[in-house]
Structures are given as C-alpha cells and as structure tokens.
Amino acid sequence: MVLVKNRTLTLGERFYFKTVFFGLIYTIKNIFKKKITRCYPEEKLDPAPSFHGVPVLVADSEGNPKCVACGLCEFVCPPIAITIHGTETDRPIERMPKRFDIDMLRCIECGYCEEVCPEEAIVMSQDYELVGGNRHDFKWGLDQLLVPEAKLKPRLEYIRKTFHRFKSEPRDEATAASVPGVGGAGRTLDGTQVHAALERYGDNY
Amino acid sequence: MTNPAATLTPKAKGDLHTEVMTLNMGPQHPSTHGVLQIELKLDGETVVDMDPVLGYLHRGKEKHAEHITWQQWMVMTDRLDYLAPLQGEFGYALAVEKLCGIEVPERAQAIRVAIAECMRLTAHLVWFGTSALEVGAITPFFLAFREREDLFDLLDELTGLRTNQEFIRFGGVKADLEPDWVRRLAEWAHRFPACVDEYELLLSGNRIWYDRARNVGTMDADLAMSLGMTGPNLRAAGVPHDLRKAEPYSGYEKYDFEIPVGTVGDVYDRYLVRLEEMRQSARIIWQALEGLPEGEFMARDYRYVLPPKDRVYTSMEELIYQFKIVTDMRPPKGEAYAGIEGAKGELGFYLVSDGGTCSYRSHVRAPSFVNMMAIKPLCLNRPIADVVAIVGSIDFVMGECDR
C-alpha cells in the first residue's frame, strides 16, 4: 500500500507562469520530434503473419477448395456469418461446398473458424481493406473467397506452429507436410494409430 | 469547504419567478463515455436532482450466453469493457476453469497476467486522455494515445487483432510468446514510467486542472463501501482493497507491487491513484516477463483443450475429439464465480452450468455498473460543469454497464 501524495500548487503554478511557459516549451520541443502517425492510404500496413484479416478459403493447385463442407466453422462462428451448402464430388475428398458464403459485415475476424478447421481450408488473410457500395457487396461467395495456397504460405506456417499447442510433444512434421495437395490423403483408420492415440490420452477422453 | 453552488443560485430568488429546469445530457454527449443519458434537474447552474438512464447499449449478452456454446461466449466478454477486452476474457476463462477444474500451466498464467496488465494500461490511458480532454486539456489525449498505440502494435502482432483480441482459451492462451516480442514488451514497460512522469508534469501542476479536480466529487470511504464500489475509485477513497492482493489469482501473489491509496477521495485523488496504478502495472509486466516460466502455454487437459492441429489432419481419434470439443463441450453441473481486478474494479463472472453445452445462467458483476451509482450522490448540489469532471473521473464504460 502506498499513499498518493497530497500536493498543493506552488506560487509559480498558481499564477500560471510555470504552466504557460512549460506548455510552450513542450509544444516547441515536440515540433522537432519524429512523427508517430502514418499517412495511411499512401503508406499501407505490413501485417505480421499472426494478423487477422478477412477469412478466405484455401484453393489447392487445381483451384478447387480444400474445404470438405463439414460445417464445423459454420457451427463455431459466433456471429453466424458463415453459410455452407455441401455437395458430393468425384475428387478423393468426396465432399465439397456447393455454396460457401461469408457475410463480411457480420464477421468479427475472431479466427475461430481457422482454429477449428480440420482441413486447413479456411484461414485469416492479410487483407484488411473491406470496401463496398451496399450490403450485398459484403456477402462473399466461393468466387471471391478462394485464394491460391501459395499466397497464404506465411499464415499456414503460423497456424501449423501455433495450433500444435504442446511444446513438449513432437510435431507431426511428415504428416503435416502431406496435408497440402489432396485433403484426407493420409487419413486411414489404422489400428496402430488408434492404439497410439489411446495411449497418448488415456482415460482423459 | 464552501459550497460553490451556493454562490451560483440566483440572488433575487424571492422577487424573480424561477423554476427547476430539466436538461438531458447525452446520450450523444461527448463526455458521457458512450451512450449514457443523464436527466439533470437544474436550479440555475446547480444540480438539484439527477437520474442516469441506462440501456442504450443493451445487447442482452447474459441471455445470449444461454444459447451459444461456452467458447463462443468468449467473444462476447471482449465486448463488455471494450477498452480492456482481454480482462473480460481472463475473468470468464477463470470462471469456466473453476467450473471444469482445469489447471492452467504457470507459463500461461504469467502470459495472462502480462497481457491483463497491458489492458489495464490501455484502459487507464484512454481514461487519462479523455477525462483531461473533457475539462479542456487537449495535449494529454494525444500523449496517452501515443503510448496506447505502441501497446496496441505489440498486441496486434501477438494476437492478430488490435482490440477485441480473441487470445485467451480455456486452459491457457492461444499462442506462445516469442522471445523477441517478450523483449520488446519488457523494453516498453521499462520505458513507460517515464511517460507517466511526463503526463504528471503536464497536468498535476496545471492550475486549471487542479481547480477543476481538487475537492470536487469528494467521496469518503463509508460512501464508497456502502455503494459497493471497487477498483481505483474505492482506493482513492482510502480503502486499500485490491483483488490482486486480497484474493490473488493466476499467480499474482508472486509479483511485487504496491496498491496506491488516496487521502482525500476527490477527482484529483482518483487521477493520482490511476497514474500510480499505471506505474505499478508496468512493474508487474516486466516482472511477469522476466520471470516467464518455461513450459506449456496450454493445459494438457484433453476434455476441454483442442488436440494438436497437425494430428487432427492425420489421425482419426484427434479428428473426432476436435469435433466433439467444439460442438459438445460440457462442463460438469455446478456453479462458479471468479472475479479479477479489472481496470474499473472487480470484474466477476458467475456461471451456472446444468451440464449442457451452453450455460444455464450467466451473470457479469460489472464494475462500471456499480461505480456509476456514485455519480448521483457526488453531483448533487454541484454546478453542472462539475458533472463532467465527476463522470469522467468515475470512469465507466457503457458496454459493460448495459451488457
């Protein structure tokens, strides 16, 4: 516990001398200091990989969405910004979104969708400039949301590092590296894998 | 002390017909800290009665908690006190962890303490800038926002968002701190007390600020306690109560810091107490960062913590539990209360669980709401200009009042 001091004004302060002169000197000194503001539209921000811009969908090398329309991001989205209509496809992932809409006016860019996505299919981009003339412009469909994977490299690496979560557990480098390409390629229900998982987590599950 | 209001009432009251005037201050008034409406009854310039009208920012957050999952409500707690969003998450996470019995690793606790103190600084900086602005000093506003911007740049790099960061998870935090980031925040925290000295140099001896603040809105300890006030307002009234010392949570007992206590309990004392609190917060930040324990930043509790993402991509078990925890996280039946020392006072979360995926009932003990009740006893029989100074010094955020 520390008592804050109970001060009274000095004579110079009472006659505004100190206040006025100190204020003037302070202002003049600040004129010559380096500017701390940014001329925004000319000087753009350079966001770090951790930056949460608008969420986008990752497209694989053929331009198809990696999304399998599982609906987990739709479920977890707190402001209910995501709408997914799934359909079947002949590709090995078997399912894909027929419609994938994000209402950017509802989106709060919390990043929960990216955190829960089991396919690395939706990530937060570096894009922070949302402009539109009317409300309809902010309902982004698949055509606007799909971004080639090559453009999202820094963010994907950040996700793989951060969402591993446990430093003492080794990262599954080999299998994580196999994820880009065709989703679900490495996903086989192998008896040894199940056994290993049960051993790792024991009765906690 | 003479009551300045007595000199302001019309002298010729006996001859002249005067009546009490009703004046609506707000909800669009710039000095009401959001959308607060105050119905003032004025006799000349003197406030004879006043009534705060709440509810302009009511969003039904507590009711909303009964319809969305536990994790989803985390984003709502950010938007309670939007000047210190991570403190809302912090208090809510503590309550849920108490309910579920999750043990948070020490490293996560230290990270939470550091960022919660950063939030106290940003909230106090906004308070400092705006309350000085309201009584006519414009320079402190720019200075306070300069430091706040530095802090937000750092937090932006860590969490990805400037405000309303979604950073705290049940059982820990979202991401680990990089050594480079820790070094930069520690450097900033070492530099910051000099900035507070600069603020004090500009404002403490300024006669205009002194006259507007000294002996205005004086609150003694009895009044503050009977109103249930907490936080800097209570401490300025002379009661050394701080939850960080009284009921340490998240490892606060390990840090060495002082509680500033006022002697008079007026607007000027609340200003001094908050400035001193900023220095102490900077101290806590660098203590937390220097003694940052090694280890995990997330609890290894697989009932409530999402499994490692790289295994989710490849292993069936983890995939199933990723889905299960997101859609079907069910804390055990029971109730829990956890309070933290927020920037405005005791920020508490009371949660009742019936074992479902949503809370059965949630309640927020919002310090802004309780502290606001003090403005009426403090403003009565004061000139109307003092209302602005008093409302500014009580420091509430309407997002938290109305919820």
Cβ contact (<8 Å) for A13 and B206?
yes
CB contact (8 A) between residue A118 and residue B314: no
- Residue percentage of chain B with pLDDT more than 70: 96
Best residue in B292, B314, B326 for a mutation probing chain A (most A CBs within 10 Å): B314
Q: Are B159 and B185 in contact (CB under 8 A)?
A: no
String of b and e for B57-74 (b: at least 16 CB within 10 Å)? Answer: beeebbebbeebbbbbbb
* CATH number for the segment(s) A55-165: 3.30.70.3270
* Cβ B78 vs Cβ B60: under 8 Å: no
Closest CA–CA distance from residue B18 to any residue of chain A (Å): 37
In chain B, where the domains are located: 61-402
Per-residue pLDDT tens for A134-162?
Answer: 888 888 888 888 888 888 888 888 888 88
d(CA B190, CA A73): 41
pLDDT at A204: 45
Which residues, at least 6 apart from A11, have a Cβ–Cβ distance to it below 8 Å? none
Do A118 and B308 make contact, defined as CB atoms within 8 angstroms?
Answer: no
Using DSSP's 3-state secondary structure scheme, residue B343 falls into coil
pLDDT tens for B146-163 read 889 889 989 988 988 888
| Contact between A76 and B69 using a beta-carbon 8 Å cutoff | yes
B363's tokens: 């309640």
Is residue B386 within 8 Å of residue B401, measured between CB atoms? no
- Number of neighbouring beta carbons within 10 Å of residue B245: 15
Whether residue A181 lies within 8 A of chain B, CB to CB, comes out as no
- Tell me the pLDDT of chain A averaged across its residues: 79
Residues 6+ apart with CB under 8 A from B79: B59, B61, B85, B88, B164, B399
Beta-strand pair A146-148/B21-25:
unpaired
Name the residue with higher pLDDT: B2 or B229.
B229
Cα–Cα distances in angstroms (integers) from residue A129 to residues A50, A82, A101, A139, B356, in the given order: 17, 19, 18, 15, 39
- C-alpha–C-alpha distance, residues B90 and B76, integer Å: 12
Rounded-to-integer distance, Cα B159 and Cα B155, Å: 6
Distance CA B34, CA B398 (A): 6
Q: Measured between alpha carbons, how far is B18 from B28 in angstroms, rounded to an integer?
A: 28
Phi, psi of B242 (to 5 degrees): -145, 125
Give the pLDDT of residue A178.
46
How far is C-alpha B111 from the geometric centre of its chain's CA atoms? 18
The shares of helix, strand and coil residues in chain A, as percent rounded to the nearest 5, are: 35, 15, 50
Residue B139 with chain A: CB contacts under 8 Å? 23, 26-27
Averaged pLDDT for residues B314-343: 87
- pLDDT band at residue B110, thresholds of 50, 70 and 90? very high
Of A13-17, B13-17, B328-332, the range with the lowest mean pLDDT is: B13-17
Residues of A in contact with B261 (CB under 8 A): 1-4
Task: Inspect the interface and report whether the beta carbons of B321 and A205 lie closer than 8 Å.
Answer: yes
Tokens representing A90 are 């002949």
Q: How far is A77 from chain B (nearest CA, A)?
A: 8
Whether residues B240 and A1 touch (CB distance < 8 A) is answered with yes
* Cβ contact, residue pair B326, A198, below 8 Å: no
Angle at A123 between CA A121 and CA A126, to 5 degrees: 145
Query: Whole-structure pTM over 0.95, yes or no?
Result: no
From A35's Cα to the closest Cα of chain B, the distance in A is 11
Residue ranges of E strands in B88-228: 168-169, 172-173
Closest CB from B69, B263, B312 relative to A3: B263
CATH number of B61-402, picked from 1.10.645.10, 1.10.1270.20, 3.40.720.10, 1.20.1250.20:
1.10.645.10
Here the tokens at position A130 are: 């949302």
Q: How many CB pairs under 8 A join A and B?
A: 180
Q: What is the ipTM of this complex?
A: 0.79
- Cβ-based contacts of B298 with chain A (< 8 Å): 165-166
- DSSP codes, B68-116: S-TTTTHHHHHTTSTTSHHHHHHHHHHHHHHHHTPPPPHHHHHHHHHHH
The structure tokens listed for B202 are 């500009």
